[in-house]
Structure 1
Amino acid sequence: MNNALFRFRRPENEHSMSYAPGCPERALLREAIKQIESETAEIPLVIGGEEVYTGDTGRVVMPHDHAHTLAVYHKAGAKEMERAIKAATAAHERWAATPWTERAAISLKIAELVDKKYRYLLNAATMLGQSKTVWQAEIEAASETIDYFRFTVHCMDELYGDQPASEEGVINSLEYRPLEGFVYAVTPFNFTAIAANLPMAPVIMGNTVVWKPATTSLLSSWYLMKIFMEAGVPAGVLNFMPGPGSVGSRVVLNHKELAGIHFTGSTQVFNSLWRGVAENLNKYVSYPRLVGETGGKDFLVMHASADAKAVAAALMRGAFEYQGQKCSATSRAYIPASRWDELNAELGAMLAETRTGDPRDFRNFVCAVIDEASFDNCMDYINYAKNSPDAEILYGGAGDKNVGYFVQPTVIKTTDPHFRSMEEEIFGPILTVYVYDDARWTETLRLCDETSPYGLTGSVFAADRAAIEEAKSLLRYAAGNFYINDKTTAASVGLQPFGGSRASGTNDKAGTRLNLSRWVSPRTIKENLLPPRDFKYPYMMED
C-alpha cells in the first residue's frame, strides 16, 4: 500500500509552438494533415469500453471543402443511451473508490500523451474537421487541453487539502464524494479543449459520464476518446455517444440517476435542459448539478484616449479569428466619434491584408464557418444589414458555399445602438460598430451594459485611468471576463479563468476549484475519541 502524501504544485502553462517556416513542428504538422486527409475514419460509440456500430450513420466533412468526407460516424439512439447510462451506473462504485492519486495520474498521462505523442494529429484533426488555422488549433487543441489536465490535478490537490480544524479529543474531516449518479456532458464544436475538459473534469473527480460530443467536431473528439482510453480511463467510466442531442437528452433527463450536466453550447439548448430537469425533479435521487457556459454578445468599448491601432488589432483578432465562432468573440464595438476616422482607416488597412481560405494554406487568417446552417445564418444577418436604412456594410458582406462555407470578414456600421446585430449572438465573422458622441462616454457604458442579455466577455481600451475605472465599475456584471487594453478572446487556464453570468451561463470557471467543486458532494465526518458517558452538563449541578 502506497502511503505517500502526494502534493501537486501549480504547473506552468504549456508553451504554444509557432509553426514558423523552417521549424520542425511545421513539417510534422503537415505530415499529420496528409495522414488524416488521406483516410476516412469510422467512428463508433463507446459503451462500457466496447465499440458499438449502430449502422445509422452520418458524415464528418471539412467545412472548407465539404465534398471531402473525413469520417463516417455511428449515431446513438434511445436504446444505446439507456445502455450507456447502465454502463456508467455500473462503473460508479468502483471508480468512486479509486484513490484520487490514481485519477490524478490518468489526468497527467493524458496531458503527456497530447503533448508528446498526439499533438500534431490532434491539431490536424481540429484544423481539417473544424476549419481552424494552425495557430488557433495549437493554442487550444494542444496547449489549452494540456493545461486543463495539468491544472485539474493541482486544483484537486487544493480542494482535497481544504480540511476543517480538529479540537482536542475530536478528529474532523471532509470527504469529497463524487456525485450520486452519472454526469451528462454535452460538448460544442468550436473548442477541442472544451470537448476534452467537460466530460473529463467530472471523471477525474470520481464520477462516471455519458458524453454527447458535437457531430460537427467528431473527428477531434474521437481522437480525444482514444487518448483517454490509452491513458487508462476504465471501461464504463466515460461513454462516448455521438448522435442527435435531442434523442440523448430525452433519455438522460428522464433517468433517476442523473446527477449533473456539464454543458457548453447555445443558451437556448441549456435553457431547454434546465427546464427538462425541473420537469423531472421528483424523479431524481438528488438535485442534479447544472453547470453551463452558453452564449455571448461580447463588446469592445473604445475611449477617446485609446490607441487606435491597438483597438483595430484587437477587433481583428477578437472578431475574426476562428471566423468569430467563439462565445468570447468581439461582435459589437462602441467607438468615439472623434476617433472613428482614424480607427476606420486602421481597420480597413488590416482587413485589406486578410486572407480567407483553406486552413491547409498557412497564409490564411480566416477559414470556413462550421456548416451550411451557420453559413446561411451569417448571410441572413448580412442581408438584413444591407437592406436596412439604419446600417451599412463597410467591409466584406459576401459569402460563397460552393466549395466551403466561406463568409468574408464583415464590418457593419449602424446608427441604431439596438440594431439587430448589436444585440443578437451571430457566431460568425461579423462585427457591428456603433459610433457614439464623445461627451456620452458614461451613457455609452450604461448602454453597453443594458443592450445584451449576455454577460460573458468584454473589453475597454483607454489610456485615461479614470475612464478605465469607471468602465470597470459600470460594466461589473456585463462580463465574467473583463479585459483592459486587450481583445475579448484567448483566456488561459489558470490565468484568466473563463465564464460569465446572465444568459452566458453559471460562471463556474472551468479549470479551477470552483468548477471541480461542483462535481463532488462533501461529507463531514467527526470522530469523537472519548465520547461522554453521561448526558448531564456542569451547569445542571447543585450550588
Structure 2
Amino acid sequence: MSQIATFKVPTINNEPMRAYAPGSKDREGLEAALAKIAASGPYDIPAIVNGKEIRSGDKQPQVMPHDHKTVLANYHAATPETVSAAIDGALAIREAWEDLPWSDKASIFLKAADLVAGKYRFDIMAATMLGQGKNAWQAEIDAAAELADFLRFSVKFVEELYQQQPSRNSDGVWNRTEFRPLEGFVLAVTPFNFTAIGGNLVGAPAIVGNVVVWKPAPAATYSSYLVYKIFEEAGMPAGVIQFVPGSPPDIVKQCIDHKDFAGLHFTGSTHVFRKLWKDIAANLDIYRGYPRIVGETGGKNFHLYHPSADIKSGVVQAIRAAFEYSGQKCSALSRVYVPRSLWEGGFQEELVKQAGSITIGPCTEFEHFTGPVIGRPSYDRITSIIEKAKAAGGEVIVGGKGDDSKGFFVEPTVIVTKDPKSISMTEEIFGPVMTVYVYEDAEYDQTLKLIDTTTEYGLTGAIFGSDTLALAKTSRALRNAAGNFYINDKCTGAVVGQQPFGGARASGTNDKSGSISIFYRFISARSIKTNFIDPTAFEYPSNLV
C-alpha cells in the first residue's frame, strides 16, 4: 500500500434540514419524486453479488403501508447458493479493500454523502415515504439528513481513530498502532424503520476495511437498494458490500454458520438479537476468533414529569416523542409518569386536546402529522395490545381504534392506567400508543425506583421540570435506566455527532452509533514496536555482581 502524504479530511458538519413548505422548490422536487417513483413501480430488485445482479425468480412483494394493495417493489429472495457466492466474493476482495489507502475509502463515503444530500435526496426520501410510511419531515430527518451525517461523520471519526497512537516511546524505540479490520466478513442485518440505519450498519464496518454481507429488512428493500446503488456510484468496489435480500432467518443462519463470520451489526428486536447471540455462542468452535456482536434492540422509553414541569411544552414533547412516525422508533415514548398536581391541573386536558387533533393519512398528503404502521403483523400486534390494556383496566382517553381497509392505520392512542406494571407499561409495542401513570406528588422517590425497575430495557428517557436539585437527583437515580437521557427535551431525535445513540440492558450493546465508539467494535488493533538499538549482552544490570 502506497501512502505518500498525510491527508486532512474536510470540516464535517451536520446536514442542514429542509422545511418543505408549501410552494417551495423542495416541496415541488419531493412531490415530483413521489409521483415518479409511484408511477414507475413495481420495481424489480435483485440480489447483487460482486456487483452483478442475481434474480432467483422467488419474488417477494414490498407493499406500500398506506395502500397495501399497491406493490412498490418485488425483490428476488437470495438462494443459499447466492448467499454462498456473496460470502466467497466478499472474502475474495477483503485484502484489496483492506489495503486500499484510507484517503480513497474516505472519498467514497464523502461522495456518497453528497449524492444523498443532493442528486438523490428526493428519490431516497420518496422511496422511504412510499415504502416505509414516513411523512416528508420524518423522511427528511432520516433518509436525507441522518444518512448524510452518518456517512460524513464516519470519515471524521475514523480519521480521529487512526490518529490515536501510543503516547510514549522509550529511548531507541518507536511504538505505533494500526487498526486492522476483522478477520473475515461482517453480517449487517438492518431494520425497516430508518433508511439511515441501514446505510450506517453497512457503512461503519466497511469504512474501517471490513467486507459486509447486507441483509436488508423486507419492508425497506427498495430504499436499501437505492442506498446500495449510491455506494456503487460513489466508487465502492464490487464485492465490498454484498446485497442479499430474502428470508431473514435463512440468510442469517447461513452467515453465522460460516467459519469466516467475524461480526454482526444488528438493529431489530430484543428477542431475535438474544437468539442470534446464543446461536453465535454455540458456533464458537468453528470460528477463527470471537465474533464481534453489536446490536441495538428494543426500548420501553419514558417521560417523567416533576411537579415543577411546564404543562404545555411537556405535552408537546410527549406527543412528538410518542406519535411521530406512528411510534415506530426504538426511542419512541411509551410510558409517561405525571404527578397528580399536574395531571389534574391541566396536563390531561391539554394532552387530550392536542393528541385528539392529530390527523393520520398517506405520505402523499403532506398535512398529516403521522401515517400508517409498517404492515399487517404490526397492525395486529398494536391493536391487540390496546385491547388487552383495556381489558386489564386501562382507560383509553384518546384514539384506540385502527383501520386496515386501505392502509395499516392506527389512531394515536393515549391510555391511562392505575397499574404501573400493566401490559402497555411493560411490553414493547412499537406503535402509536402512550400509557400514562399518574403518581402522587409525595411519591416522587418511589416513582424513580418504579421507572428504573418496571421494564428490562434501558434505551431512552427524559425528565421535565424546573427544579434544578430535582433534575440532578433524577439524573443520578435513573443513570442506568436510559443510554440516552434528556432533560426538558423529548426522548427521541438523537443527532449524529451530537448525541451518540444506544442503550444497555435489554436494549442492546450500547456501542453508540453516531460517535467514534462504534468503530472500535469493527477493528482489531495491532501494536508495532520497532527497536533501534542492538543489545550486546543478554544479562540485565540486576544480574551483575
Q: Does 1:379 align with 2:383?
A: yes
Cα shift at 1:509 = 0.6
Question: For residue 3 of structure 1, what is the aligned residue in structure 2?
Answer: 4
Q: Does 1:362 align with 2:361?
A: no
Does structure 2 retain, via aligned residues, the 8 Å contact 1:335–1:436? yes
Cα shift at 1:395 = 0.6
Task: Provide the secondary structure at the position in 2 that maps to 1:199.
Answer: helix
Cα shift at 1:386 = 2.5
Q: Does 1:524 align with 2:496?
A: no
Q: What does 1:66-465 align with in structure 2 at a 5 Å threshold? A: 66-164=68-166, 165-341=168-344, 342-388=346-392, 390-465=393-468
Aligned equivalents of 1:434 and 1:206: distance in 2? 48
Q: Which one is further off, 480-489 or 337-346?
A: 337-346
Aligned equivalents of 1:294 and 1:56: distance in 2? 30
Question: For residue 505 of structure 1, what is the aligned residue in structure 2?
Answer: 508
Cα shift at 1:88 = 0.9
Does structure 2 retain, via aligned residues, the 8 Å contact 1:77–1:247? no
Task: Provide the secondary structure at the position in 2 that maps to 1:497.
Answer: coil
Task: Spell out, residue by residue over 1:81-100, the C-alpha distance to the aligned partner (whole angstroms, 9 max, x if none).
Answer: 11111111111111111111
Aligned partner of 2:523: which letter?
V
Aligned partner of 1:419: which letter?
S
Task: Provide the secondary structure at the position in 2 that maps to 1:58.
Answer: strand
Quickly say closer, same or farther: Cα 1:541–1:385, change in 2 above 3 A: closer
Q: Does 1:541 align with 2:514?
A: no
Task: Provide the secondary structure at the position in 1 that maps to 2:476.
Answer: helix
Does structure 1 retain, via aligned residues, the 8 Å contact 2:3–2:101? no
Aligned equivalents of 1:11 and 1:422: distance in 2? 40
Cα shift at 1:101 = 1.1
| Aligned partner of 2:63 among 32, 48, 61 | 61
Aligned equivalents of 1:531 and 1:480: distance in 2? 51
Aligned equivalents of 1:247 and 1:308: distance in 2? 49
Aligned equivalents of 2:157 and 2:109: distance in 1? 12
Q: Which one is further off, 417-426 or 79-88?
A: 79-88
Aligned-CA RMSD value: 1.0
Aligned equivalents of 2:11 and 2:359: distance in 1? 39
- Normalising to structure 2: TM-score of the pair? 0.98
Cα shift at 1:452 = 0.8
Question: For residue 490 of structure 1, what is the aligned residue in structure 2?
Answer: 493
Does structure 1 retain, via aligned residues, the 8 Å contact 2:190–2:198? yes
Does structure 1 retain, via aligned residues, the 8 Å contact 2:204–2:519? yes
Aligned equivalents of 2:178 and 2:61: distance in 1? 45
Task: Provide the secondary structure at the position in 1 that maps to 2:379.
Answer: helix
Aligned equivalents of 2:94 and 2:327: distance in 1? 39
Cα shift at 1:531 = 2.3
Task: Provide the secondary structure at the position in 1 that maps to 2:500.
Answer: coil
Does structure 1 retain, via aligned residues, the 8 Å contact 2:389–2:422? no
| Aligned partner of 1:514 among 517, 524, 534 | 517
Aligned partner of 2:207: which letter?
I
Cα shift at 1:253 = 1.5
Aligned equivalents of 1:215 and 1:141: distance in 2? 17
Q: Which one is further off, 363-372 or 346-355?
A: 346-355
Cα shift at 1:45 = 0.2
Cα shift at 1:540 = 2.8
Task: Provide the secondary structure at the position in 1 that maps to 2:331.
Answer: coil
Aligned equivalents of 1:326 and 1:101: distance in 2? 34
Aligned equivalents of 1:259 and 1:166: distance in 2? 33
Task: Spell out, residue by residue over 1:343-385, the C-alpha distance to the aligned partner (whole angstroms, 9 max, x if none).
Answer: 1111112123211111110100110000000000011011112
Task: Spell out, residue by residue over 1:9-52, the C-alpha distance to the aligned partner (whole angstroms, 9 max, x if none).
Answer: 65111111000112111000000000100012110001111110
Does structure 2 retain, via aligned residues, the 8 Å contact 1:10–1:151? no
Aligned equivalents of 1:237 and 1:27: distance in 2? 36
Aligned equivalents of 2:536 and 2:330: distance in 1? 61
Aligned equivalents of 2:315 and 2:284: distance in 1? 49
Aligned equivalents of 2:356 and 2:411: distance in 1? 12
Does structure 1 retain, via aligned residues, the 8 Å contact 2:114–2:148? yes
Q: Which runs of 5+ in 1 are unaligned?
A: none
Aligned partner of 1:380: which letter?
S
Deviation >3 Å, runs of 4+: none
Question: For residue 31 of structure 1, what is the aligned residue in structure 2?
Answer: 32
Aligned partner of 2:81: which letter?
K
Does structure 1 retain, via aligned residues, the 8 Å contact 2:495–2:514? no
Q: Which runs of 5+ in 2 are unaligned?
A: none
Aligned partner of 1:447: which letter?
L
Aligned equivalents of 2:457 and 2:401: distance in 1? 28
Cα shift at 1:472 = 0.2
Task: Provide the secondary structure at the position in 1 that maps to 2:521.
Answer: helix
Does structure 2 retain, via aligned residues, the 8 Å contact 1:392–1:413? yes
Aligned partner of 1:397: which letter?
G
Question: For residue 45 of structure 1, what is the aligned residue in structure 2?
Answer: 47
Aligned partner of 1:369: which letter?
V
Aligned partner of 1:285: which letter?
R
Task: Provide the secondary structure at the position in 1 that maps to 2:118.
Answer: helix
Task: Spell out, residue by residue over 1:430-480, the C-alpha distance to the aligned partner (whole angstroms, 9 max, x if none).
Answer: 000000000000110110000010000000001111110111011000000
Aligned equivalents of 1:10 and 1:365: distance in 2? 35
Aligned partner of 2:188: which letter?
A
Aligned equivalents of 2:542 and 2:309: distance in 1? 71
Q: What does 1:9-24 align with in structure 2 at a 5 Å threshold? A: 11-24=12-25
